Amino acid sequence: MNQNFLPKPLTRKFFQQPTLIMAKSLLGCLLIKETEEGTTSGFIVETEAYIGPEDRAAHSFGNRRTKRTEVMFGEAGYAYTYTMHTHCLLNVVSGELDKPEAILIRAVEPYSGIDLMFERRKIDKLKNLTSGPGKLTKAMGICMEDYGHPLFKQPLYIAEGYEPETISEGKRIGIHNTGEAKEYPWRFWVTGNQFVSK
């Protein structure tokens, strides 16, 4: 990717795609977070779709509407952040109004602000910098305060990037005790990319 590349934020219309289609369309897009420390960005290389209320692996299974899941019942294109094992995870709200669906950003390929990412992660291996949902949020300074933020506006937004040559799909990761939902092939990744989590 050309280093003179200027990111163009995605439009609200982009986020109106059906969840499984958008989970693939997000691959190659550029995730950007601006903070007082600096700006970091990375190309999205792995996603997972969660389609509640029928999806047992989704937080909104059975139409569970709680303070945590409230944003999922709103318009698509907003940030759904939550913590798991002390890590903040970032999801893109998808689906129609009152149909709680979301897409987890599982991994990104670092693009800009890489020194700042290393400083935040306190590691020295590039391959491990953003190769997981908790890794990328820590590296990019994405936090619980980003909950409900529109992902088409600064300081946390998704921009146009590149179109991957090949996309792979498979089972989602770490969703035990979810019945048949653990078999759904709703994880998507850029084939062969070294920053994919698994």
CB atoms within 10 A of CB 154: 12
Average pLDDT over residues 35-51: 97
Residue 142 has which token pair? 């994405």
Answer with the residue of higher pLDDT: 132 or 58: 132
pLDDT value at 65 more than 70: yes
Question: Hey, where are the domains in the chain?
Answer: 12-190
What's the rounded mean pLDDT across residues 66-91? Answer: 91
CATH no. of 12-190: 3.10.300.10
State the chain's mean pLDDT as an integer.
92
Q: Greater confidence, 7 or 68?
A: 7
Condensed to tens digits (0 to 9), the pLDDT of residues 108-150 reads 999 999 999 999 999 999 999 999 999 999 999 999 999 999 9
80: left (phi over 0), alpha (psi -120 to 50) or beta: beta
**What pLDDT was estimated at residue 85?**
82
